[in-house]
Amino acid sequence: MIHILAALAVLGLLIAIHEAGHFLAATWQGIRVSSFSIGLGPVLLGWRRRGIQFALRAIPIGGYVAFPDSDAEEEIHPQDPDLFRNRPLPQRALVIAAGVLANLMFAWVVLVAQGAVYGVPDGISAAEGIVVTGVSPHSPAALAGLQPGDHVVAVNGQPLGEGNGAVQTIITTVQTHPDKPLTLQLEGGGPQERQVTPQLDEEGISRIGAQLQPYGMGQYRPVGGLGELLATASQGFWSITANTLAGYGQLLTHFQATAQQLGGPVRIVEVGAQLAQQGGASLLLFTALISINLAVLNALPLPALDGGQMVLLLWEGLRGRPLPERWTLAVNRLGLALLLGLVGVLMVRDTAQLNLLKSWLIS
């Protein structure tokens, strides 16, 4: 239970960091703010300070910073220069972008903290089997139902062993069995099996379309100095960011296959709880990973997200005058409805599939 609470705390913290970016960018520029909320729905805990309503709400799937521009209860002149809508485009763009920037900066700081406290990565302590770290869309592995995090311990009844030897064993087996079904034995939440049939690629090599690594816990060694600490954190940051962008790109180009790998809040908490059990270093890695994912997600040019708001701002700049309020209101309401609908579907699916005993590794 404590690990689930730790994962929930991380998710709540990252939402708060994102909204704090918007809030600080606005207040730093003297823009009026009416409320700062973590979560959606009814208020669980709230207080007012300097005319701003701070609230913790019941539905932990987001948050928002509100401005008094269209609040009928606020006795503010419509032409007040401190209203958000009356500020120049660059100032409004900074407020909109600040949430994404806050999540990215926080992720880098977390990776620096991980290196300072636990050291820098130094390989993996080998255990039995291999872990699947990626699955290509439409590949034999995807058709067989393999997913990132699956722990494979045997192929055709033969144990794989440990370390790099386990990876080499399954690679050799796949390469020597083109077009022949292989039975993979999985562990985690009870024994499972997957039937996968390797196929020859354009180079004539038998593959299943999965990325593999030895199964085990990450090992760390003391950092060699400030330079190594910053370099390692930066390398990890750019690696996670690149993989995240590639994942979203894959979603756009292979939506039907990749959408099955999407996870909602329940899946995020599940993975976070499992990583919390592996220790503080894994929990910090999870924190950085989700923070970067939140940044990239919010940067997408979709209604109700920061990227969508930036598109509206760009449209206003090209148009040369403010957009009609009814347009922006309609777009935001539609975007929010679609976003809540997607979150709802993911939560139902993830809850049905919830299995806290499943072994997960993030690479």
Active site residues: 19
DSSP secondary structure letters along 265-294: HHHHHHHHHHHHHT-HHHHHHHHHHHHHHH
Query: Which residues is 125 bridged to in the sheet?
Result: 217
DSSP secondary structure letters along 53-120: EEEEEEEEEEEEEE-GGG-TTS---TT-TTSGGGS-HHHHHHHHHHHHHHHHHHHHHHHHHHHHHH-E
Please choose, from the candidates 36, 31, 40, the residue with its C-alpha nearest in 3D space to the C-alpha of residue 59. Answer: 40
What is the spatial distance between Cα 315 and Cα 321, in angstroms, rounded to a whole number? 9
Please choose, from the candidates 266, 301, 268, the residue with its C-alpha nearest in 3D space to the C-alpha of residue 283. Answer: 268
Name the residue type at position 2. I
Helix (H, G, I), strand (E, B) or coil at 264: coil
Radius of gyration of the chain (CA): 24
Helices (H), 197-319: 226-253, 255-258, 265-277, 280-299, 306-319
CB 297 within 8 A of CB 346: no
Whole-number Cα distances in Å, 323 to 66, 85, 87, 315, 328: 19, 10, 14, 8, 7
Phi, psi of 22 (to 5 degrees): -60, -45
What is the spatial distance between Cα 6 and Cα 276, in angstroms, rounded to a whole number? 7
- HSE-CB at 231 with a 13 A cutoff on CA atoms is 6
CB 340 within 8 A of CB 257: no
User: How many residues can be counted in the chain?
Assistant: 363
Name the residue type at position 293. N
